[in-house]
Amino acid sequence: MHLPRLNRRSFVRLGACSLSALGGLPRSSASLARAARAKNVLVVFEQGGMSHIDTWDPKPDLPAEHSSPFKNISTNVPGIEVTELLSKTSKHADKLTIVRCMTQPTPGIGNSHPKGSQYIFSGEAPGGPIVMPDISSVVSSVLGTKAPHLPSNILVPGTSEQQHNTRIGFLPPAHKVFKTGGQPHHPDWKVPNLGLLGIDERRFKIRSDLLSNLDVGIPGGTRAKDAQTMLALRAQAENMLTNPATRKAFDLQGEPDAIREAYGKGHRGQCYLLGRKLIESGVRFVTIDVREPPSKDYPGGSNMNWDHHDFIYSKADTKIKGGGAGAGRWGIATWPMMGSTDQAISALLEDMDQRGLLDETLVCFVSEFGRTPKINERKGRDHWTHAFAFAFAGAGVPGGQLVGSTDKDGGYITSPMAYTLDDYAATIYEKLGIDRTKPLPTPENRPIYLAMHGHPIRELF
Amino acid sequence: MNKFTFTTLIFVLLFGEQCVAADGSLQRIEVYPTEVNLLSNRSRAQLVVTGQFNNDEVRDLTREAKILSTDNEIASVTNGIVSPHLDGSATLQVVVGTQSAVVPVTVSNQAAPDPIRFKHETLAILTKQGCNSGSCHGSPQGKGGFSLSLFAYAPHLDEEALVRDGFNRRTSVIDPPASLLLKKPTLRVTHVGGKRLRRGELAYQILHDWIYEGANGDSVDALTCTKIEVHPGQQRLLHKPHADQQLSVIAHFSDGSTRDVTSIATYDTSRDEVVQVEPNGLVRGHQRGQAAITVRYLEHLQSVYFTIVEDVEGFVWMDPAENNYVDQHVHAKLRQLQYLPSGLCSDAAFLRRVHLDLTGLLPAVERAKTFFADGSQQKRAALIDELLVCDEHARFWSLKTADLMRVNAQKLKDGRAELFANWIYEACRDNVPVDEFARNVLLASGNTLEHPAANYFQAVGLPEDLAETTSQIFMGSRIGCAKCHNHPFENWTQNDYYRISAVFRRVENKDNIVTLTAMGEMTNPSTGKVMLPWGAPADQVADETTDRRIAFADWLTDADNPFFARVEVNRIWSHLLGRGIVEPIDDFRSSNPPSNVELLDTLAADFVASGYDRRHIIRTICDSRTYQRSVETNAFNETDEQLFSRARARLLTAEQIQDAVALVSGALSHPTTDDDRMKFATQRPLPEQTEFLKAFGQPKRETPCACERASEPTLDQAIQLLNGQQVFAQVNGSVSRFGKLDDETLINALYLAAFSRTPTDFEASFAQRHLTTSDNRDDAVRDLVWALVNTQEFMFQH
């Protein structure tokens, strides 16, 4: 879906038809195999609509009353600039492609947080005849697991809010995203259901032995298919519960202090670190969606996503108790917001690079939309779906690349290319080598094509 | 005539004895159609030659038959297809072995032009070649910038797309072969959809000629197709190795004319391992079994059910005993397809099975003991009768109904969900006839806090949603696809969809009060036409005071309604046997045939005759030997998945397994009062949604689809049973019930509670050793309870 504001015919007149059409064609299996560089995907979803103008797409020429107070800084790649809120990340621009021409093609659909979040999780605008499963669930169902002792699709940490945005759609429940829950940075944090409950390993072993001796099967019916499946699942579950590698994958305490410090020891940093650990442990698809929990460290913070309708540049919390859309949020430049984010992104990129994890892992920094070029009367910025920015790394994504551009206000895309959330989904599928020309059937046998309205972002291949 | 007689003679001499079956001799042949009228120079007619053999076998002989025309200059025959040449009459002589038949042929209008008809031919071809399917140009966005309406539901849009869009490059009247419509699918230029057309094929010729003739759409007074006629009719039985069958498809048009469309109709099979079908309508049977071949032409759809019979080596029918008509029909089908039923299950298996099915709960230990001690021949039937009138039965079965009626407290607030659920329970308890129940729901109105059934209109809402939900629950029909387009495998058209919606168009729900308004019509958005409500005669609709739902309810609950009784008995059957006669149970359509038509029809007829008495049908099924069969397979039914030759082991439902763990661990005892009952998930029509229940597939009650209840094993279930909070707490607590019992009593009690049987010697001694050798007996008891609730025998119903 290129140049969404032009229809196909006017587009042809521009003479760009051939280019766009080539990018849009599903690949032949040979070129698909070449494009398939990713074995895993790590999505960092900073939910709420992060202001692109204050981060990835700086706009020094905004009129004073709407300007961003943050300086432009250069990065380690000549010609690429970001704002000073990404000063640590700027040292890793050589690993990133920054795409400044992201857009939602039909702005009405995903302009709310629940719908926008569902859109980014599933890669298809909500409201169609079929509820589209999350990209991560599709990947889990098509590619299966790489590490049977772990769920293949994990959300870190996963709150009740996301419950309403993630969807399993028509896929079997086995591929539903597994939510770690809780606050991983907390010393007492444990993943529910993945550690033995109230029983030690020795006793569990005794029980398992007892079970295998007493489980005589279904009398006369040992060939029942579901029973065979259940036996295999039980073996997998026992493995999950007792395999030291499962615990290790979630064991943040076991990480060297220097590493934990590098990511930032708070909620966001430790969630990012957990994301890296899970990818390293063989989890196919990890989504990090932190939504900072209320904490006494950040008084007044009760709703700390990026939805800065009010006092976006506040130096601490937005001080609007019980009123205004920005209630319970902290200003964008504060530590719990961009401070911890900049640190965590830079640490993640450096750490994954050093461990060689970027070779086969596609890392995506995303938000459901951007924020308005204009500052509103409450000194905040509102939702903006026309243009926003994502950043990608790993799995063959070229480093030190800028893709697309917006006008001087950051309001509209000026580059010939524009990419949608559908294109983002198509990119993930293609990077993983998933053949989008093969539909998934619903239980009612309706053929469902993956990212049907999307085309891979060419510049990432 | 001389010429004709002579050739016949030659054929008889040359091929005479060749076509006589080894296992039966040919008695006579029939040719379809019995006469052929070719009204245009493009008309063709597919002949179908059928042989009747003296062993009652019916066989398609179209390809073996020798067919000669008395005048090849008027009409000739190639591969069973008649082509016209000059106006006049001729006779076809059809010969197989010693049998022959004649078919008169009339040919006319050969000099008159007969341009290609856009909808009837061009679009039929685009459908047949798959161009306008949902995965190609029929998808909402089209493909590669070329968009067609899905399965040609909107011819005017297709005309626009083919003729005017794409800079006229799709159809080039000046140079037809240069049209993209022909170049792309023949791969003369790149086509992502691959090769779809070959030069020289009929499909190519039709598209080419249509362009050549000017690429015109249909005129406003164009004929419409009123129906299609498929030979050999609704069903056909074929014996391998003679399992081929040529189809003939004849379209009828609004002017009374007919045309053979066999070559341009579209064919699909419901099970391609059983039968496949070629684009020319030749059906080929592959292995024994049953399947539907669905024939589509434009918006018309008809299915032919094929049964392929194949001799299985060593198969001998033993005339197994039959308890009632259920067994008769099941056995007839098994015998026909050569499967042998399993034996009856043990008393222990029956006791556990029938308790779980009828009440949702495991049998009480005391009831098990008295049942085993009972020496009566009739004790199974007596137990069925006993359970059918117990309160647990009414509660458990009302849960199933409440699932479908979308009784959930998020949608039905302030006690409405409880009110509606309780109303459903009372209907089950009083065994309210199912037709009456349906009418009470569909005709409900009033304040939803005072009229429980009116909550149906609160839970569902909007006329379209009501149409879809009502169709799925009471007609087993998924009409949702027809909201936007005619569906390739559904008989329901878009008009039907909006006619059913029109029934509910005037239902209003304001401030939680369901009322009827005097105004409001439903239009089909594709045609803009106002739709007559389903079931209502036109004169009734004119009267604005008439509740349109009444005519619909009358139609729905009429004894001859093709869906209502069948859907309900099929649901009951599926609850008891683990699989519907039609499966999925709410997906009745001609392209998804029942696995046993006679069984379904007889059950439905009995249901109607009983006054829609659900309990009567449950009793009849449970009394049958079919219900009481063992899960154990024999050499002649291992591969049977659909014909009910044996019982199916299946995972307990979410509510069943939660209650079963509670009963075995002693966290709950069998209920005796209403208060007790409300502690069981199977006994609350409005169960809470817990992590445990959700893991085991409890539906959220957001759709009317039975598929919302997941029944497949998952990893989460294994984790919940091995290590979940709920199981952990109940296993821990089991010591208080069992801890004081001596080893033998304890082990016996646990086995009876969990499996309704006593332990084998091995099991008893193994369990006892565990109890005696552990350093902490309480922990050992917990281990034992934990192990038993994790066994397959416990988790499954069998």
pLDDT in tens, B611-635: 999 999 999 999 999 999 999 999 9
Would you place residue B18 in the very low, low, confident or very high pLDDT band (cuts 50, 70, 90)? very low
Architecture of domain B235-309: Sandwich (2.60)
Contacts B728 to A, Cβ<8 Å: 197-199
For chain B, say whether A205 makes contact (Cβ under 8 Å).
no
Which pLDDT belongs to residue B755?
Answer: 96
Contacts B723 to A, Cβ<8 Å: 193, 196-197, 237, 241
How far away is chain B from the Cα of A227, in angstroms, using its nearest Cα?
7
Task: Please measure the distance between the N-terminal and C-terminal CA atoms of chain B and give it in whole angstroms.
Answer: 71
Q: How far is CA B566 from the centre of its chain?
A: 11
A28-189+257-460: CATH topology: Alkaline Phosphatase, subunit A (3.40.720)
- Look at residue B681 and tell me whether its pLDDT is greater than 90: yes
Q: Radius of gyration (Cα) for chain B, nearest Å?
A: 32
Task: Please measure the distance between the N-terminal and C-terminal CA atoms of chain A and give it in whole angstroms.
Answer: 17
> What separation in angstroms does the CA of A170 have from each of A167, A174, A361, A445, B694?
9, 11, 27, 10, 16
CA angle B551, B553, B559 (to 5 degrees): 105
Per-residue pLDDT tens over the stretch A279-302: 999 999 999 999 888 788 888 777
Of B346, B719, B732, which has the smallest distance from its Cβ to A237's Cβ? B719
- Look at residue B318 and tell me whether its pLDDT is greater than 80: yes
Residues A99 and A55 sit within 8 Å (Cβ to Cβ): no
Give the separation between CA B35 and CA B250, rounded to whole angstroms: 13
Q: Which two tokens stand for residue A295?
A: 């904490």
Residue with tokens 């079994």: B289
Lowest mean pLDDT among A440-454, B98-112, B361-375: A440-454
Contacts A167 to B, Cβ<8 Å: none
Of A173, A210, A223, which has the smallest distance from its Cβ to B710's Cβ? A173
- Which is nearest to A154 in space by CA: A260, A282, A342? A282
Give the separation between CA A423 and CA A13, rounded to whole angstroms: 23
> What separation in angstroms does the CA of B422 have from each of A310, B229, B258, B428, B739?
49, 49, 57, 10, 39
- Which is nearest to B726 in space by CA: B651, B682, B661, B794? B661
Lowest mean pLDDT among A219-233, A315-329, B304-318, B325-339: A315-329
Per-residue pLDDT tens over the stretch A316-336: 887 766 556 667 789 999 999
Which pLDDT belongs to residue B154?
Answer: 84
Percent of chain B with pLDDT over 70: 96
More reliable by pLDDT, A434 or A172:
A434
- Ranked by mean pLDDT, the top range of A223-227, B683-687, B759-763 is B759-763
Give the separation between CA A96 and CA B525, rounded to whole angstroms: 48
Which pLDDT belongs to residue B188?
Answer: 87
Would you place residue A7 in the very low, low, confident or very high pLDDT band (cuts 50, 70, 90)? very low
Residues B351 and B379 sit within 8 Å (Cβ to Cβ): no
Contacts A8 to B, Cβ<8 Å: 145
For A215, name the nearest residue in chain B, comparing CA atoms only. B791
Within 8 A by CB and 6+ apart from B525, the residues are: B498
- Which is nearest to B522 in space by CA: B467, B479, B459, B477? B467
Would you place residue B749 in the very low, low, confident or very high pLDDT band (cuts 50, 70, 90)? very high
B345-367 burial code (b ≥16 CB/10 A, e <16):
bebbbbbbbbbbbbbbbbbbbeb
Which pLDDT belongs to residue A29?
Answer: 55
Q: Which two tokens stand for residue B467?
A: 């149409």
CB neighbours of residue B152 within 10 Å:
24
Which pLDDT belongs to residue B12?
Answer: 43
Contacts A151 to B, Cβ<8 Å: 715
Question: DSSP letters of A186-243?
Answer: STT---TTSS--SS-HHHHHHHHHHHHHH---STT-TT-HHHHHHHHHHHHHHHHHH-
> What separation in angstroms does the CA of B692 have from each of A195, B84, B659, B681, B697?
17, 71, 11, 11, 9
- CATH number attached to the domain at B2-107: 2.60.40.1080
Which pLDDT belongs to residue A447?
Answer: 82
What are the domain boundaries of chain A?
28-189+257-460, 195-216+224-251
Q: Which of A12, A214, A423, A455 to mutate to test the interface with B (most CBs of B within 10 A)?
A: A214
Q: How many helices (H) and strands (E) does chain B have?
A: 29, 27
The verdict on whether omega for the bond into residue B685 sits within 30 degrees of 0, i.e. cis, is no
User: Average pLDDT of chain B?
Assistant: 90
Residue A173 phi, psi (nearest 5): -60, -20
Would you place residue A128 in the very low, low, confident or very high pLDDT band (cuts 50, 70, 90)? confident
Give the separation between CA B245 and CA B267, rounded to whole angstroms: 13
Would you place residue A1 in the very low, low, confident or very high pLDDT band (cuts 50, 70, 90)? very low
Per-residue pLDDT tens over the stretch A439-459: 898 876 778 889 988 999 999
Give the separation between CA B407 and CA B420, rounded to whole angstroms: 7
Which pLDDT belongs to residue A416?
Answer: 94
| Model ipTM value | 0.82
Give the separation between CA B4 and CA B68, rounded to whole angstroms: 8
Of B144, B710, B792, which has the smallest distance from its Cβ to A230's Cβ? B792
> What separation in angstroms does the CA of B762 have from each of A216, A435, B632, B766, B793?
11, 53, 22, 6, 16
CB contact under 8 A, B715 and A219: no
Q: How far is CA B336 from the centre of its chain?
A: 22
Would you place residue A100 in the very low, low, confident or very high pLDDT band (cuts 50, 70, 90)? very high
Give the separation between CA B261 and CA B282, rounded to whole angstroms: 13
- Look at residue A11 and tell me whether its pLDDT is greater than 70: no
Contacts B651 to A, Cβ<8 Å: 226, 230
How far away is chain B from the Cα of A142, in angstroms, using its nearest Cα?
17
Question: DSSP letters of B245-278?
Answer: EE-EEEEEETTS-EEE-TTTSEEEES-TTTEEE-
Would you place residue B637 in the very low, low, confident or very high pLDDT band (cuts 50, 70, 90)? very high
Question: What's the whole-model pTM score?
Answer: 0.82
> What separation in angstroms does the CA of B253 have from each of B118, B222, B408, B487?
14, 10, 49, 22
Contacts A193 to B, Cβ<8 Å: 719-720, 723-724
Mean pLDDT of A402-420: 95
HSE of A195 in the Cβ direction (CA atoms, 13 Å)?
Answer: 13
Q: Which of A13, A25, A167, A199 to mutate to test the interface with B (most CBs of B within 10 A)?
A: A199
Residues B781 and B691 sit within 8 Å (Cβ to Cβ): no
Residues A127 and B482 sit within 8 Å (Cβ to Cβ): no
Q: Which of A11, A444, A455 to mutate to test the interface with B (most CBs of B within 10 A)?
A: A444
Contacts A217 to B, Cβ<8 Å: 792-793
**CA dihedral in degrees (A258, A262, A266, A271; nearest 10)?**
-100
Contacts B630 to A, Cβ<8 Å: 220
Lowest mean pLDDT among A159-173, B258-272, B285-299, B698-712: A159-173
Lowest mean pLDDT among A221-235, B324-338, B393-407: A221-235
Strands B99-107 and B36-38: parallel
Would you place residue B206 in the very low, low, confident or very high pLDDT band (cuts 50, 70, 90)? very high
How far away is chain A from the Cα of B386, in angstroms, using its nearest Cα?
26
- Look at residue B558 and tell me whether its pLDDT is greater than 60: yes
Residues A67 and A52 sit within 8 Å (Cβ to Cβ): no
CB contact under 8 A, A207 and B728: no
What are the domain boundaries of chain B?
2-107, 118-212, 235-309, 325-341+562-602+610-650, 345-388+654-696+713-798, 411-556
CB contact under 8 A, A444 and B478: yes
How far away is chain B from the Cα of A435, in angstroms, using its nearest Cα?
13
Which pLDDT belongs to residue B660?
Answer: 98
- Look at residue A21 and tell me whether its pLDDT is greater than 70: no
Which pLDDT belongs to residue A23?
Answer: 40
Mean pLDDT of B156-165: 86
Residue B557 phi, psi (nearest 5): -100, 10
Residues A147 and A283 sit within 8 Å (Cβ to Cβ): yes
- Look at residue B55 and tell me whether its pLDDT is greater than 60: yes
Which pLDDT belongs to residue B482?
Answer: 83
Give the separation between CA A117 and CA B351, rounded to whole angstroms: 50
- Look at residue B14 and tell me whether its pLDDT is greater than 50: no
Would you place residue A224 in the very low, low, confident or very high pLDDT band (cuts 50, 70, 90)? confident
For chain B, say whether A258 makes contact (Cβ under 8 Å).
no
- Look at residue B20 and tell me whether its pLDDT is greater than 50: no
Which pLDDT belongs to residue A324?
Answer: 61
Which pLDDT belongs to residue A161?
Answer: 65
Which pLDDT belongs to residue A163?
Answer: 61
What's B308's DSSP letter? E
Mean pLDDT of A67-85: 96
Per-residue pLDDT tens over the stretch A186-195: 988 888 777 8
For A237, name the nearest residue in chain B, comparing CA atoms only. B719
Which pLDDT belongs to residue A17?
Answer: 31
Which pLDDT belongs to residue B704?
Answer: 80
Residue A57 phi, psi (nearest 5): -130, 70
How far away is chain B from the Cα of A297, in angstroms, using its nearest Cα?
32
More reliable by pLDDT, B603 or A446:
B603
Mean pLDDT of B587-600: 92
Which pLDDT belongs to residue A13?
Answer: 32
For chain B, say whether A452 makes contact (Cβ under 8 Å).
yes
Which pLDDT belongs to residue A4?
Answer: 39
- Look at residue A20 and tell me whether its pLDDT is greater than 50: no
Question: DSSP letters of A53-79?
Answer: TTTTS--TTS-GGG--SSPEEE-SSTT
* Dihedral sign from CA coordinates of B13, B19, B21, B26: negative
